[in-house]
């Protein structure tokens, strides 16, 4: 073979280096903003998805992870400034921002991504992402469902036993259930010198849990805030009265001293913290983050054998995941599911790249390990994800309990029917009404009147 002159070889090498440099400079990328995981495995699963996406598409993922609160505030600010990320997923978007962004025309229509996947999803999931865009005067898929959550209750079996009761003693009727923790378990433990509270129930404006848990009371009292067309129904005397009863019942837990006094100022993590610290015996919570923390600890590479055994015992023996009681009318209370949403913004620089990432993330091989990396904190939105042994294995006392609750049927949160509830929720109008009763000593009737007036004002604008 004839050899090329050294000078030509040098020229070709220089040209190759120049082309490589230009290619590197021209490398396509997308900015992705997401909620930071509670556990390392969750973030590692996400990084693996980003790496696989890059290898398949050649599109680099510039990933930024934020806390639950920060991902909302930072994204809202970026949207207002006209500099949003190409893809965003926040675990609070669904109740605080997604519906309003869609209504205001801030979101890209992702129907081309979602429609081919429609048959994959569980009931009451993908439907919640079919939203109205007032700018385009149409409904379409303006978000992708990533995960879902319902309200569970968690309690310490060993504390219950110490109070002189067993699992079978817990009432299933509404009044009996809440009274059991407040009027029986709490006094029994205090008689033994334990400064504990029967219930850990957030009553604060700061905590999203206040909203989720109060919505359970709203559903328990058969309050119809809106119809399926989004029409506000709070002028109906029956709905108005049932809302007052639900509000009074919820706040009574605080007023009777059955939840820590600090619960009126709790943030999103404080009901978890108080249960972990065994300051409370039982707490409602909308994810499996509480048992997940013990699962993470018992499998930690850095934990000692003793620490692992303590975590194992808590996970498998002493911590219980259960469902809420029946409604006050005696009928079963269906679980309301909150579907977590990912979005592409209309003003994003690389919308097509963002859509490609969305479609890639929604594949079973990517979405499933991401959610399972969260150790079951959120439940899948896909049929295939929910059918995995990760959820169905009866030897896992928490995931199998949550799976049973989901398979018994869910209903959507009422805010999905009207985007204006994103403003109601962002203000946490519900918790403000609670504070008026608990702090200002006004009547539940007056607090309800003020709350309804504020909701109607929001809906009128």
**442 and 397 co-located in one domain:** no
Domain of residue 90 covers: 28-150+338-412
**158 and 279 co-located in one domain:** yes
CA distance 390 to 384: 11
The verdict on residue 326 lying in a domain is: no
**111 and 219 co-located in one domain:** no
DSSP 334: P
For 72, the token pair is 């909302």
User: Among residues 277, 280, 291, which one has the least CA distance to residue 201?
Assistant: 280
User: Among residues 132, 258, 238, which one has the least CA distance to residue 183?
Assistant: 258
Check which CATH number belongs to the domain holding 278 and give it: 3.40.190.10
**33 and 134 co-located in one domain:** yes
If you compute the radius of gyration of the chain from its CA atoms, what whole number of angstroms results?
A: 25
**157 and 271 co-located in one domain:** yes
pLDDT of res. 2: 38
**435 and 397 co-located in one domain:** no
Alpha helices in 104-236 (DSSP H): 111-114, 157-162, 174-179, 186-190, 208-220
The CB density around residue 87, as the number of other CB atoms within 10 Å, is 27
The verdict on residue 74 lying in a domain is: yes
b/e map 317-341, b = 16+ CB within 10 Å = eebbbebbbbbbeeeebebbbbbbb
**142 and 171 co-located in one domain:** no
Per-residue pLDDT of the chain (461 residues; tens, 9 = 90+): 433 443 333 433 434 444 344 444 458 999 999 999 888 888 988 999 999 999 999 999 999 999 888 999 999 999 999 999 999 999 999 988 999 999 999 999 999 999 999 999 999 999 999 999 999 999 999 999 999 999 999 999 999 999 999 999 999 999 999 999 999 999 999 999 999 999 999 999 988 889 899 999 999 999 999 999 999 999 999 999 999 999 999 999 999 999 999 999 998 889 999 999 999 999 999 999 999 999 999 999 999 999 999 999 999 999 999 999 999 999 999 999 999 999 999 999 999 999 999 999 999 999 999 999 999 999 999 999 999 999 999 999 999 999 999 999 899 999 889 999 989 988 999 999 999 999 999 999 999 999 999 999 999 98
pLDDT of res. 133: 96
User: Among residues 460, 441, 446, 451, which one has the least CA distance to residue 223?
Assistant: 451
pLDDT of res. 415: 86
The verdict on residue 169 lying in a domain is: yes
Total domains, the chain:
2
The verdict on residue 69 lying in a domain is: yes
DSSP 60: E
- pTM for the full model? 0.90
**443 and 360 co-located in one domain:** no
**55 and 141 co-located in one domain:** yes
The verdict on residue 22 lying in a domain is: no
The verdict on residue 197 lying in a domain is: yes
**158 and 281 co-located in one domain:** yes
User: Among residues 90, 189, 156, which one has the least CA distance to residue 426?
Assistant: 90
The CB density around residue 135, as the number of other CB atoms within 10 Å, is 11
pLDDT of res. 1: 40
The verdict on residue 188 lying in a domain is: yes
**146 and 166 co-located in one domain:** no
pLDDT of res. 9: 37
The angle formed by the CA atoms of residues 158, 163 and 164, to the nearest 5 degrees, is 95
**394 and 435 co-located in one domain:** no
User: Among residues 200, 397, 176, 182, which one has the least CA distance to residue 284?
Assistant: 200
pLDDT of res. 38: 84
The verdict on residue 208 lying in a domain is: yes
């Amino acid at each position: 073979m004839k050899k090329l002159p050294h000078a030509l070889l040098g020229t070709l090498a220089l040209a190759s280096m120049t082309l490589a440099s230009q290619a590197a400079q021209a490398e396509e990328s997308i900015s992705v903003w997401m909620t930071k995981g509670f556990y390392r495995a969750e973030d590692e699963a996400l990084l693996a998805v980003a790496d696989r996406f890059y290898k398949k598409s050649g599109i680099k993922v510039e990933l930024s992870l934020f806390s639950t609160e920060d991902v909302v505030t930072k994204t809202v600010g970026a949207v207002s400034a006209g500099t949003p990320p190409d893809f965003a997923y926040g675990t609070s978007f669904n109740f605080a921002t997604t519906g309003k962004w869609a209504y205001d025309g801030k979101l890209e229509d992702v129907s081309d991504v979602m429609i081919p996947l429609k048959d994959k999803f569980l009931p009451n999931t993908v439907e919640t992402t079919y939203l109205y865009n007032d700018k385009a005067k149409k409904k379409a898929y303006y978000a992708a469902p990533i995960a879902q959550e319902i309200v569970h209750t968690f309690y310490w079996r060993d504390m219950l036993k110490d109070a002189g009761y067993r699992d079978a003693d817990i009432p299933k009727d509404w009044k009996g259930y809440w009274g059991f923790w407040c009027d029986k378990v709490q006094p029994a433990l205090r008689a033994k010198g334990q400064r504990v509270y029967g219930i850990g129930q957030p009553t604060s404006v700061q905590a999203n849990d206040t909203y989720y848990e109060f919505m359970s009371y709203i559903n328990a009292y058969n309050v119809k805030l809106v119809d399926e067309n989004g029409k506000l129904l709070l002028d109906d005397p029956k709905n108005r009265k049932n809302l007052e009863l639900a509000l009074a019942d919820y706040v009574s837990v605080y007023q009777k001293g059955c939840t820590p006094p600090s619960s009126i100022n709790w943030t999103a993590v404080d009901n978890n913290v108080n249960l972990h610290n065994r300051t409370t015996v039982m707490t409602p919570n909308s994810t499996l983050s509480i048992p997940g923390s013990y699962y993470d600890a018992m499998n930690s590479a850095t934990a000692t054998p003793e620490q692992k055994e303590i975590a194992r015992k808590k996970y498998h023996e002493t911590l219980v995941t259960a469902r809420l009681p029946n409604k006050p009318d005696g009928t079963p209370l269906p679980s309301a599911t909150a579907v977590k949403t990912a979005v592409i913004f209309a003003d994003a620089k690389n919308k097509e790249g963002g859509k490609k990432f969305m479609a890639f993330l929604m594949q079973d091989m990517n979405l499933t390990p991401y959610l399972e990396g969260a150790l079951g904190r959120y439940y899948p939105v896909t049929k295939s994800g929910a059918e995995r042994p990760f959820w169905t294995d009866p030897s896992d006392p928490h995931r199998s309990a949550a799976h049973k609750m989901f398979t018994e049927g869910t209903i959507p949160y009422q805010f999905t029917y009207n985007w204006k509830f994103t403003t109601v929720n962002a203000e946490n109008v519900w918790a403000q009404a609670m504070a008026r009763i608990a702090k200002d000593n006004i009547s539940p009737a007056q607090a309800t009147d003020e709350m309804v007036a504020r909701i109607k004002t929001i809906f009128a604008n």
